[in-house]
Amino acid sequence: MFYQWFVKVLERMDGRKLAAMTAAASESSVTERTLRNWLGNSTEPDPLAMAALRTSGRAALAARLDSHGWPAEQRDAMLADLDACPGTVSAMVVTLQNGATHYPAALQLAREIDLLDLRLDEYRKTRDLRGLVDVLLSTPWIDDAHLTDPQDDAWSALSVRRHLDKAQAWEDLHHPLALLVFNVQHQLLATLDLEFCAGYLGVFAPTPIFHGLLPRLAPGIDTATGCQIPIARDMFHYPVRRLLDTMACMRVRRSDGKWPHAMPSVKDFERRLELAGRPDLARDVVKWRNGRRFTTAQFIGTWESLYDDLPEPQQPPAPLAMMYAAAVFSQLFVAGSREQRTLSFVSPDPAIYRHWWDIQRNALATGSTPLQFGSEVWMPGFL
């Protein structure tokens, strides 16, 4: 349940299907076709091949971390964390770490999600609907907030629990399970947001950073009148566009010691990439802003190019957590294809994400090691 959804986010970030990216990491120890058959349950995975796949994947990741200058101690710590992961969600959170920047609360939640998914998968395989429902309703960390539809009052936590109790067919579980995945994803993202703000952005006051990556219509467009809105240039602000704008503002602040008074121009952004010797990235900036798929590799390349003129010790590591947030919001709210001219998005209620951020802030504030924040204001005037 959770696994399938998180794989879609991972594929969006990588730009390839899971079988293709796994085959590439395996260095030809397992073919893409074989992996597709395994994932599609057409054939059973071979234990020896799986072992070789884990070994080659681990070596490929170690080599990538080395190429980005990770100290051996931090590299080995990340690999050890990955070895301890029970599933895809926790492994994804581990890979979002930036050397000394860790996300323990997000990782713990991700592990809980993975462990729950493994239990639910056992009941799915045996077609035990009642057993699956009982696990959902008895899992300690799933509470009313996870089972409440923030967009439909008819689906309160009480009504969802009653619906699950009365479920007779797998189809009866579709909406409650989709609702659970939606809320759990927001919970994980909000937890990561808080730890990212306290760790990577430690000088800033507690702020829902990822809130600024939600898709929206351009400011000033009136949707309240009910009239048809004419399509205009720069009308749709997709998560990737908002991510690129945030990156540009962060770079100006690094240079000037303060936030810009106006959003940096796309031309200036492209010029920085060209001066860093990456005209290939500069050519795609406008396309990314308008909805073309933006991968993690392109994000890292763009980030590093923006800071290419600084001495290496002063170059901040790419904030992968922000890339992940943009990918999650794209998966949740953006549909269609730019190339096929079917791209669109649902404009989400920002209060939904803020609601989960408030819940997680309160939860982390009362934990054994409360997060510490600074006092500076994050991107005033732009969010």
Q: CA 253, CA 141: separation in Å to the nearest integer? A: 40
Q: Which residues make Cβ contacts (< 8 Å) with residue 108, sequence separation at least 6? A: none
pLDDT digits (tens, 9 = 90+) for 64-81: 788 877 888 888 888 888
Q: CA 383, CA 372: separation in Å to the nearest integer? A: 23
pLDDT value at position 220? Answer: 62
pLDDT digits (tens, 9 = 90+) for 86-108: 999 999 999 998 766 789 999 99
pLDDT digits (tens, 9 = 90+) for 109-160: 999 999 999 999 999 999 999 999 999 999 999 999 999 998 888 899 999 9
Q: What is the mean pLDDT of residues 209-231?
A: 69
pLDDT value at position 158? Answer: 95
DSSP 26: T
Please report which helix (H) or strand (E) contains residue 344, including its range: strand 344-345
pLDDT digits (tens, 9 = 90+) for 145-155: 999 998 888 89
The whole-model pTM stands at: 0.91
pLDDT value at position 267? Answer: 96
Checking phi first, is residue 196 left (phi over 0); if not, alpha (psi -120 to 50) or beta?
A: alpha
- Taking the CA atoms of the chain, what radius of gyration do you get in angstroms? 22
Q: CA 306, CA 298: separation in Å to the nearest integer? A: 12
CA atoms within 13 A on the CB side of 209: 30
